[in-house]
Amino acid sequence: MKKTFNLIATLLALSVYQGAHAASNSITIATEGAYPPWNFTTSDGQLAGFEVDLAKVLCKKMAMDCTIIAQDWSGMIPALKAGKFDVIMAGMFITDKRLEVMSFSQPYAIDPSSFAVEKDSELAKSTDSEKVSLNDTEKAQAAIEKLRPLLKGKTVGVQASTTLYEFLKKYFGDDIKIRTYKTTEQRDLDLEAGRVDAIYGQRTVLAATLKNDGFQDFMIAGPGFYGGIFGRGVGAGVRKDDDKLREKLNSAIQSAIADGTIKQLSEKWMGVDITPGS
Amino acid sequence: MDFSFYLIIIPKLLSGLPMTLQLTAISVSLGFILALTLALLLQTKQRLVTLPIRTFVAIFRGTPLLLQIFLIYYGLGQFRKDLQFVGLWGFFREPYWCAILALSLNTAAYGSEILRGAIKSVPKGLVEAARASGLSYYLTMRLVVLPIALRQAIPSYGNEIILMVKGTSLASVVTLMEVTGIAHGLISETYRAIEVFVCAGAIYLTINFLIIRGLAALEHRLSPPYLRKRT
Amino acid sequence: MIDVLHLLGFGDGGWGKSLLAATLVTLLLSFSSFSVGILFGGVIATFRVGKYRILNLFGRSYCTLFRGIPDLLTIYLLYYGGSMLLTSTGKLLGWDGFIGLPTFATGMLALAIISGAYLAEIFRGAYLALDKGQLEAAQALGLPKWPTLRFVIMPQIMRLALPGVSNVWQLILKDSALISVIGLVELMRQAQIGAGSTREPFIFYTAAACLYLVITVLTGFFFKYVENRTSSY
């Protein structure tokens, strides 16, 4: 009996600890760990990818101790609010809706979003592949109307709780059947299995998917949308009242853009430069 | 407390109720038919029959339901070509049927154990008396053993049905929008996890409460007066 | 076949080591939840057979609640609400600042709470099945309360409850797979990670299923053995 009590006491003592950020110069950064090439988990359990490398660089620039942890995408914002970690770096778009409940650093990347489909499908015939800003209402509307008939009645897979999903619902909600997935990997498996006709995602992420075995017959199709509902690009999310940390992140990101670190890292992981303003 | 928020999310969560109830009803019914079949087959004591059944039961009782759903949906999705070849792809293509398959097989495994126990608990004397009065094995089963066994199994089977109601909450991982799936969507719209999960929890609690009450009434009706519990 | 061996092996790029490590986490998580769950179950069962109506009501609500809502929701609620609760309790006690519960502790607590509800019912059932003559005999012998509990009631309850307890252990083991949703890398999550990054879900989920099966079968044998040892007939 005594032993059991001791064990429980030890476990409780171990489990209650003060939030890292409040205590000292250390922060916890959450990423999804399942969003290649932005962030993913290797076979030995390590986190890797563009954002993981970038997080390490930013921490060095801020002179802070960082712990990077993996966290399911769908619950990330409530978990940030609940204080489970201090920063989100997980390919998260800075959107107006999110800004209502949290705060963001300046963007560290801009990445347009597209569809991926089978090469002999109708959507693949859409030759448009230029970038379209949703802020440019007229041009965006024209591009969307061109896509609409090609998508009519199709089933499209997209990761749940994302702005990508919001986009599909807003612009094609009446035309297509949307299926939502917890991770992009599950979405990809269903594309490969033919359970969905198309998937929608960030271009760099789709490109990484298509590099895998089994995706030779698929391609990225349609214009690359950005702006508007997609907000101001990808940034690091922090709690609303955490201005000090946001300022620190901002200057670190500014410096990483200026010295070409972001360009170099994005080319290393994605083969393209996604530095904001490039 | 922000009641207007609850007033907004509760109807939204309830829109997932038909899916939750459908998944439960179909898998519990299919699972029960399968469970009863397996439990009766186990009575034969033929190793060739009982061994595969025991293996099936051990596998489905020994692994997590979440894993079974994943394996059936994503795992078998890899074998699209083979499944197309045997004409089963139309079934496995749909997340709805995959979820029902996983849930039914799971509950059949647990249910068959419950029913086997219930059949075993029927007093031997009753069976002997029935056989001595000239009833065939089949008639003894149908008229004597099963009515008693099924009534005795109601409380344990009720627990299993409740576990199934709770189990449907896992169907959201294969893109189905039942109550939990909708709860996840609402959280990503409102970022208020606790309120949404509390409401979803209340919905499940209500369903389960009604099921428990319904089954208790059924048990009461089916019991002869001297066995009835005072209510 | 070579592919499978390579993927699940221990060599370079093999996932064998990660899967085994994750299995260990699953075992550790289940075992600690089980121990704490027995404590919770014991306390709640005591409430329910005791004579205080308020404690009785609490015990009953506890069991109805945690057996009635999906385990997944309990886990999520504890994950999001746990640290909030701790922090506000901390504030009441004058500790300003954020108090967090690490993932492992959150998962363990959630499983302990859930299994506690099931175990309480089992312990209560065992207590009610206890021969009342035993208690009267102990009283007649003038045995004080604590030794009665320790030497007369407990051993018998443990024996009567053993089959049920063994079921709950299996339940915890399988429920521990749900802790994967809050980010703890146990067997289920490791299998998902592997399935995701190699795009071989069938192999990884089958491997995980086998590992779960090995644990449930082996621990099942253990419980059977203890049951046989302790049963007097």
Helices (H), A101-234: 137-151, 163-172, 184-192, 203-210
For chain A, helix, strand, coil in percent to 5 are: 40, 25, 35
Q: C14 is in which domain, residue-wise?
A: 2-230
Same domain, A98 and A148: no
8 A C-beta contact, residue C35 and residue C28:
no
Helix (H, G, I), strand (E, B) or coil at B205: helix
**At a CB cut-off of 8 Å and minimum separation 6, what does C108 contact?**
A11, C29, C32, C33, C36
C18 touches chain A (CB under 8 A): yes
Q: Do A75 and B187 touch (CB under 8 A)?
A: yes
Return the exposure string of B69-85: e unless at least 16 CB atoms fall within 10 Å of the residue's CB, then b. Answer: bbbbbbbbbbbbeebee
Nearest CA in chain A to B188: A161
Domain B18-175 has CATH 3.90.1150.10: no
pLDDT at A20: 41
Residues of B (103-132) whose Cβ lies below 8 Å from A:
none
Q: Residue C50's pLDDT is what?
A: 87
CB A50 within 8 A of CB A269: yes
Residues of C in contact with B200 (CB under 8 A): 73
> Which one of B24, B71, B191 would you mutate to disrupt binding with C, by most C Cβ within 10 Å of its Cβ?
B71
Q: C42: how many CB neighbours lie within 10 A of its CB?
A: 16
Q: Chain-centre distance of CA A74, in angstroms? A: 11
Q: Smallest Cβ distance to C205: which of B71, B162, B204?
A: B71
Position C2 scores a pLDDT of 61
Q: Does C223 touch chain B (CB under 8 A)?
A: no
**CA A208 to CA A185: how far, in whole Å?**
11
Residues of B in contact with C176 (CB under 8 A): 64
Using DSSP, state whether A223 is helix, strand or coil: strand
Residue of A nearest to C18 (CA): A44
Look-up of token digits 């109720």: B17
Of B103, B64, B70, A184, nearest to C201 by C-alpha is: B70
Q: Which among A82, A161, A189 has CB closest to B74? A: A189
Same-domain pairing of A136 and A101: no
Contacts of C158 in chain A (CB under 8 A): none
A126 lies in the same domain as A220: yes
Range of the domain at A99: 20-110+233-270
**Sign of the CA dihedral C21, A88, A231, A176?**
positive
Chain B to chain C, count of Cβ pairs less than 8 Å apart? 104
Q: Which of A4, A22, A84 has the CB atom closest to C83's CB atom? A: A84
Residues C83 and A83: beta-carbon distance below 8 Å: yes
Task: Give the distance from residue B215's alpha carbon to the nearest chain C alpha carbon, in angstroms.
Answer: 15
From the candidates C7, C93, C181, C199, which should be mutated to test the interface with A, based on the most A CB atoms within 10 A?
Answer: C199
Which pLDDT tens digits describe chain A residue by residue (278 residues)? 455 555 555 544 444 443 444 446 899 999 999 999 999 988 888 899 999 999 999 999 999 999 999 988 988 998 898 888 999 999 999 999 999 999 999 999 999 999 999 999 888 877 677 899 999 999 999 999 999 999 999 999 999 999 999 999 999 999 999 999 999 999 999 999 999 999 999 999 999 999 988 899 999 999 999 999 999 999 999 999 999 999 999 999 999 999 999 999 999 999 999 999 76
> Residue A191 is which amino acid?
L
Show residues of chain C in contact with A19, CB under 8 Å. Answer: 97-100
- What pLDDT was estimated at residue C96? 65
Residue of chain A whose alpha carbon sits nearest to that of B77: A193
Residue A215, judged by CB atoms within 10 A of its CB (0-12, 13-18, 19+), counts as middle
- Residue C10 is predicted with a pLDDT of 84
The pair phi, psi for residue B23, each rounded to 5°, is -60, -45
Note whether A134 and A224 are same-domain residues.
yes
Residue numbers in C near A4 (CB within 8 A): 35, 39
Long-range contacts of C168-171 (CB under 8 A, 24+ apart): C168/C34, C168/C37, C168/C115, C168/C118, C168/C119, C168/C122, C169/C30, C169/C34, C169/C219, C169/C223, C170/B61, C170/B62, C170/C216, C170/C219, C170/C220, C171/C115, C171/C118
CA–CA gap between residue B124 and residue A104 (Å, rounded): 73
Shared domain check, A251 and A219: no
User: Cβ of C73 and B204 within 8 Å?
Assistant: yes
What CA–CA distance (Å, rounded) separates B183 from A232?
28
Tell me whether strands C99-100 and A26-31 are parallel, antiparallel or unpaired.
Answer: unpaired
Chain C partners of B76 at a C-beta cutoff of 8 Å? 202
Same domain flag for A130 and A204: yes
**Chain A residues closer than 8 Å to B192 by CB:** 78
A254 and A237 belong to one structural domain: yes
Give residue-wise pLDDT tens across range A47-58. Answer: 999 999 999 999
Q: Which residues of chain B have pLDDT under 70?
A: 1, 229-231
The letter for the amino acid at C187 is: L
Q: Does B95 lie at the interface with A, CB-CB under 8 angstroms? A: yes
Any B CB within 8 A of A77 CB: yes
Angle between helices C103-129 and C16-49 (to 10 degrees): 40
The pLDDT of residue C132 is 81
B226 touches chain A (CB under 8 A): no
- Find the angle CA(C226)-CA(A5)-CA(C89) to the nearest 5 degrees: 130
Q: If you measure CA to CA, which chain A residue comes closest to C17?
A: A44
Look at residue A179 and give its three-state secondary structure.
strand
Q: Per the structure, how many domains does chain A have? A: 2
DSSP string, A6-66: HHHHHHHHHH-EE-HHHHSSEEEEEE-SEETTTEEE-TTS-EESHHHHHHHHHHHHHT-EE
H or E element: which one contains B213? Answer: helix B193-222
* pLDDT < 50: residue spans in chain C: none
Q: How far is A84 from C101, CA to CA, in rounded Å?
A: 8
Task: State how many domains chain C has.
Answer: 1
- Would an 8 Å CB–CB cutoff place C178 in contact with chain A? no
In this complex, the chains that touch C, judged by 3 or more CB pairs closer than 8 A, are A, B
Residues of chain B with Cβ-Cβ distance to A181 below 8 Å are 175
A219: helix, coil or strand?
strand
CATH of residue C25's domain is 1.10.3720.10
Identify the pLDDT of residue A22.
46
Asked whether residue A254 falls in the same domain as residue A123, the answer is: no
Partner residue opposite C100 with nearest CB, options A17, A34, A183: A17
Q: With an 8 Å Cβ cutoff, is B85 touching chain A?
A: no
Question: What is the count of residue pairs from A and B with beta carbons less than 8 Å apart?
Answer: 46
